[in-house]
Structure 1
Amino acid sequence: MTTHTELDLRHYGHAEAPAIRELLLDVHDEVYEGVDDPLAPRDEFARFVDGWSAKESFACVIAYDQEQPVGYAYGAPLTPGGATWWAKVTPALPEAFTVETEGRTFALSELMVRGPWRGTGASARIHDALVRARPEHRATLLVHKEHHKVRALYTSWGYETVGEAVPFEGAPELCAMVLALR
């Protein structure tokens, strides 16, 4: 475990996405090395990075410790009229909950921290730097149902589980969680 506690939290958007793409993939490769997950291979994960970062509203925070990348979080607001995020959540959620309007929901797609910085509070600091200052009313994320420690961490940050989903073929069973921001 590293003893460094000072993190340099840098914000990036859609325009900077090409410049940070390889770093995002490299950190992912390190974090998921040896993990038996069909979405863990670099080429599979690259599709997610490219899809999210192609959004004009893409937002990312990368933390550095003395110029070493510690980890990152990224996501984007859900689009008005597009309730696909909620479509496969069971039990089905009320329409009033799933209707997306401008500024309603920020979707946190990824949050990961490299091994030496786990247990140091880095994940909370990265998360908060990205999510807590968002103008949206709430944040949402999907987390592996079997990752009990990670789910407990999100719960400790104020997220509540609203259902479960398998959003696409080949995805594991995930828990949909929501955090009130306003």
Structure 2
Amino acid sequence: MTTHTDLDLTYYGRADVGAIRELLLDVHDEVYAESDDPLAGRDAFAEFVDHWSDREGFACVVGYDQGQPVGYAYGAPLSMATTWWAKVTPHLPQEFTAETGTRTFALSELMVRAGWRGTGAAKAIHDELLRDRSEERATLLVHKEHGKVRALYERWGYRTVGETVPFEGAPMLCAMVKHL
């Protein structure tokens, strides 16, 4: 196993999605193989990949260990018409939720295969994705019941601003924000 400092971190944009879509789905399938979450299936996740990768400003970083993908992170800026904050409780003030299309980068997915967890790979991939972002902040949603994951994001500088069930069938999620 390679430590995070030995990973090859490769950046991909919206134009590259055709070349990496199956890789994203395959890594997801491995990471969620034991999950009973109905939203974790390949078809459901493929819809999320397609939704996010079609957005203006889509960015993805894949970490490779000797050519083998170990994990990735991707997201896109929130548009002016976003509903990201609409169902967050407690209700957030308009000056917080107002989006310009360049204010907030939404980290949609971050996942690392089992053999590379605990090596720093997730943080290295995350940090590379956000390294050159021009937005003032990043946001993500994390399962409320996943306390260890929330604590990890807190160590990385995120803070919880509320809770949300963003769409029917989704679990209760914590909305978190990090200033860039």
Q: TM-score, normalised by structure 2?
A: 0.97
Amino acid at match of 1:116: G
Distance 1:162 1:137 in 2: 16
Contact 2:2–2:65 (Cα < 8 Å) also in 1: no
Structure 1 position 4, deviation (Å): 4.2
Matched, 1:165 2:164: yes
Amino acid at match of 1:43: D
Identity of aligned residues (%): 72
In structure 1, list runs of 5 or more residues that go unmatched. none
Structure 1 position 3, deviation (Å): 4.2
Distance 1:141 1:90 in 2: 15
User: Where does 1:1-182 land on structure 2 (aligned, <5 Å)?
Assistant: 2-5=1-4, 6-80=6-80, 82-181=81-180
Distance 2:24 2:36 in 1: 20
After superposition, give the CA deviation of every residue in 1:92-138 in whole Å (9 maximum; x if it has no partner).
Answer: 00000000014210000000000000000000000000013210000
How many equivalent pairs are there? 179
Contact 1:144–1:175 (Cα < 8 Å) also in 2: yes
Distance 2:176 2:44 in 1: 23
* RMSD (Å) for aligned C-alpha atoms: 0.9
Contact 2:3–2:121 (Cα < 8 Å) also in 1: no
In structure 2, list runs of 5 or more residues that go unmatched. none
Distance 1:91 1:36 in 2: 29
Structure 1 position 40, deviation (Å): 0.6
